[in-house]
Structure 1
Amino acid sequence: MFYKRFDSYYKINDEYSVEMLHSRAQIAETIAKNQILSGNNNEQMIACAIKRRFDDLYGSSWQCIVGKSFGCYITHLENHFLFFYFGGFAVLLYKNN
């Protein structure tokens, strides 16, 4: 497994088109930005807002982790993984069964 860098988004292998990656990342970024600008820097609340929006848009079973320092070891569905940095936070978003 390897990472390719596209602006501030990370893509694993070639699962997404660049356009799909940026589209989904922009949705998650907008949610994070709105939360932060409204004074909410609570990582759990930001993750909750992103997860709920992705569940609404793309079906349930999305998982979201937001933080400044974390490690992970996960299993995700193919074409359902996104990792990026925004506003000092790392955002990991993936879908599983």
Structure 2
Amino acid sequence: MPHRKAEVKTTDLPDDMQQFAVEVAFAAIKTGGDNQEIASFIRNEVLREFPGNWHCIVGSNFGSEVTHGKRGLIFFKLAGHGILLFRTV
């Protein structure tokens, strides 16, 4: 079972959205599947709760440079996965 403690590296999301993202990511990882399936699960759950154009990248080693909407970015590590979730305008 994955460890529930997330290490948030950067974010501008409000606390409730951060908590939701981490909880959804935990559920996705616990369910299993590859990184694509985990990213899809996270994105779909976030879309149900928060409107906008959300994107999710999951992996253990990647770089990124994205433009995102205001209050629309979180990057965190959870159970060996790097998870980048962001909303575009």
Q: Give the TM-score range, shorter chain.
A: 0.7 to 0.9
Is 1:59 aligned with 2:51?
yes
> Does residue 59 of structure 2 align to residue 72 of structure 1?
no
Bigger Rg, which one: 1
Distance, in Å, in 2 between the alignment partners of 1:81 and 1:36 is: 20
Q: 2:24 aligns with which of 12, 24, 31?
A: 31
Aligned length: 84
The whole-number CA distance in structure 2 between the counterparts of 1:29 and 1:83 is: 10
Which residue in 2 is equivalent to 1:49?
41
| Highest RCO, 1 vs 2 (Cα 8 Å, sep ≥ 6) | 2
1:93 aligns to 2:85 (yes or no) = yes
Q: Distance in 2 between matches of 1:42 and 1:25?
A: 23
Using the size of structure 2 for normalisation, the TM-score is 0.79
Long gaps (5+) in structure 1: 1-6
Indicate conservation of the 8 Å contact 2:9/2:77, yes or no.
no
TM-score (norm 1): 0.74
Cα RMSD of the aligned pairs, angstroms, is: 1.9
